[in-house]
Amino acid sequence: MAGTTTNVIPETAFFEGTIRCVSEHTRARIREAVTRTVQGVAEAHGCTAELELVDGYPVTYNDETEAARFAEVCRTTLGEKGHRVLPAPAMGGEDFSYVTQQVPGMMAFLGVCPATEPDPRSAPPLHSNRMVLDEDGLAHGVALHVAMAIHRFADE
């Protein structure tokens, strides 16, 4: 935001946003690039800049062993179509990432979009006040949690 109108040069300006990454290495590189860019633009225009970058949640990593275990449990519990890998990483911020920094784990999504939805990709998303879910899908979530616990502790 810069000023209160479009035709007056303001004394100050600010912008804010989020940086979402799939690795801490990438996050560090982006931090460096943003810092260089902000300082360079300010210097080029004879201005000063203050930059505050807050990391927020750590990157969420899925442990390969736990992810493979989950895929097997999904297929065993829900059938061959009970598991699919997303075509791209989910870029949401998640406090669960603090857990996976301490112990091997993985994060998965439970499909609960109603079968009546013509295209699940255009359905109101999670955290939307318009989201509708198929509550029968919650039983699958419970079954998967129980099966994961049994499978996990059977290995010990």
- What pLDDT, in 10s, does the model give residues 72-123? 999 999 999 889 998 888 888 789 999 999 999 999 999 899 989 888 889 9
- Output the 3-class SS for the chain: CECCCCCCCCCCECCCCCCCCCCHHHHHHHHHHHHHHHHHHHHHCCCCCCCCCCCCCCCCCCCHHHHHHHHHHHHHHHCHHHCCCCCCCCCCCCCCHHHHHHCCCCCCCCCCCCCCCCCHHHCCCCCCCCCCCCCCHHHHHHHHHHHHHHHHHHCC
- What pLDDT, in 10s, does the model give residues 20-33? 888 999 999 999 99
Task: Assess whether 16 and 71 both reside in one domain.
Answer: no
Task: Assess whether 86 and 135 both reside in one domain.
Answer: yes
| Residue numbers of the domain that contains 68 | 64-154
Task: Assess whether 31 and 51 both reside in one domain.
Answer: yes
Q: Is the pLDDT of residue 36 over 70?
A: yes
Domain limit, last residue, from 34, 56, 78:
56
- What pLDDT, in 10s, does the model give residues 101-112? 999 999 999 989
Task: Assess whether 94 and 42 both reside in one domain.
Answer: no
